[in-house]
Amino acid sequence: MIHSVTFRKMKNRLMNFIMLACTLAVLVPLGLIFFHIVKMGLSSLSLDFFTHIPAPTGEAGGGMANGMFGSAIMIAGASLIGLPIGILGAIYLSEFGGTRVSNVIRFAADVLSGTPSIITGMVAYTLLVVPMKGFSGLAGSVALAMIMIPIVLRTTEEQLKMVPGSLREASLALGVPFWRTSLKVTLRSALSGVLTGILLAVARIAGETAPLLFTALGNQFWSKNVMQPMAALPLQIFSFAIAPYEDWHKLAWAGALVLVTVMFALSLTARYFGRTKQAR
């Protein structure tokens, strides 16, 4: 049976409408979250927010400078631990892979990236906080690194696999050892994609709260020692948001705005790197 042209066109229009509606359904929650956070956060955002630590209970003002500082330190620490492991592991999987070991590693990374982050926090608590007899920024970094590693590992591996074999051969045929070829040709060619993956991983851990609860713990004061409990922006948002004071809630909104803006910027930068790669 052959449908009439009008019927076919109607079906086409209907399906187009349904797909458009689905796209909007994805965008609406994001828009609502962003709009609401900007509305609530912008009014409480001031210079003090970026330069002051939280004011003592009952006093007005104060900021989250220590939280932002602590977050930056812990993210840097996590990157220091997680990036070498993730990237070198990815080189192993992509360049020396194909063995049973690499399949096990791949599977383990996938399971690890699906593990709830609070579990990661508990593992870091057991491994570091208990034996060191105290909460610390270092334990926070390790917990964040554990979240970062599988993301970096898998995205980097995918990028390395996309580098054509002919480039590796070109380098090897010039008498360049395999390890130099891996680093200077293969990894170099995949660099923009790898950077995208790294930025997305950083954006991901920047917003993590649960793994820091049992590790970095948080700190009301300036904490520059990574062996001591350390403040973090998501933790401060959490504790300020559940506090019974109105002006603390406002600070929490301001913190949320800063956090979302940072993540937004990171994602945009990541997209930019991804874009320039395609343009080449």
Partner 1 sequence: MNNKVQLDQVNIHFGKTHAVRDISMTFPENSVTAIIGPSGCGKSTLLRSMNRMHDLVPSARVTGKILVDNGDIYDRSVDPVAIRRRVGMVFQKPNPFPAMSIYDNVIAGYKLNGRLPREEADEIVESCLKRVALWDEVKDRLKSNAMMLSGGQQQRLCIARTIAVKPEVILMDEPASALDPISTLKIEELIEELKERYTIIIVTHNMQQAARVSDYTAFLYMGDLVECGETKKIFTTPEVKRTEDYITGRFG
21, 174, 278, 279: which one binds partner 1 (CB under 8 A): 174
* Interaction of residue 173 with partner 1, rule CB under 8 A: yes
The Cα–Cα gap between 193 and 167 comes to 17
The Cα–Cα gap between 115 and 136 comes to 22
Residue number, 117 or 189, with CB nearest to partner 1: 189
The Cα–Cα gap between 242 and 238 comes to 6
Report the SS3 class of residue 272.
helix
Give me the least distance between CB of 78 and partner 1, in Å please. Answer: 29
Give me the least distance between CB of 154 and partner 1, in Å please. Answer: 23
Residue number, 165 or 244, with CB nearest to partner 1: 165
* Interaction of residue 11 with partner 1, rule CB under 8 A: no
Report the SS3 class of residue 62.
strand
Query: For residues 135 and 129, is the Cβ–Cβ distance under 8 A?
Result: yes
Residues numbered 93-132 forming contacts with partner 1, rule: CB under 8 A: 98
Strand partners, 54: 62
81, 176, 241, 243: which one binds partner 1 (CB under 8 A): 176
* Interaction of residue 170 with partner 1, rule CB under 8 A: yes
Residues numbered 198-237 forming contacts with partner 1, rule: CB under 8 A: none
Query: For residues 121 and 215, is the Cβ–Cβ distance under 8 A?
Result: yes
* Interaction of residue 187 with partner 1, rule CB under 8 A: no
The Cα–Cα gap between 101 and 66 comes to 43
The Cα–Cα gap between 12 and 67 comes to 52
Query: For residues 73 and 137, is the Cβ–Cβ distance under 8 A?
Result: yes
Instruction: Fill in the per-residue mask, 60 to 89: x = in contact with partner 1 (CB under 8 A), - = not in contact.
Output: ------------------------------
Give me the least distance between CB of 233 and partner 1, in Å please. Answer: 36
Q: What token pair was written down for 7?
A: 């019927």
* Interaction of residue 172 with partner 1, rule CB under 8 A: yes
Give me the least distance between CB of 181 and partner 1, in Å please. Answer: 7
* Interaction of residue 276 with partner 1, rule CB under 8 A: no
Query: For residues 167 and 186, is the Cβ–Cβ distance under 8 A?
Result: yes
* Interaction of residue 2 with partner 1, rule CB under 8 A: no
* Interaction of residue 181 with partner 1, rule CB under 8 A: yes
Binding residues vs partner 1 (CB under 8 A):
98, 164, 166-178, 180-181, 184-185, 188-189, 191, 280
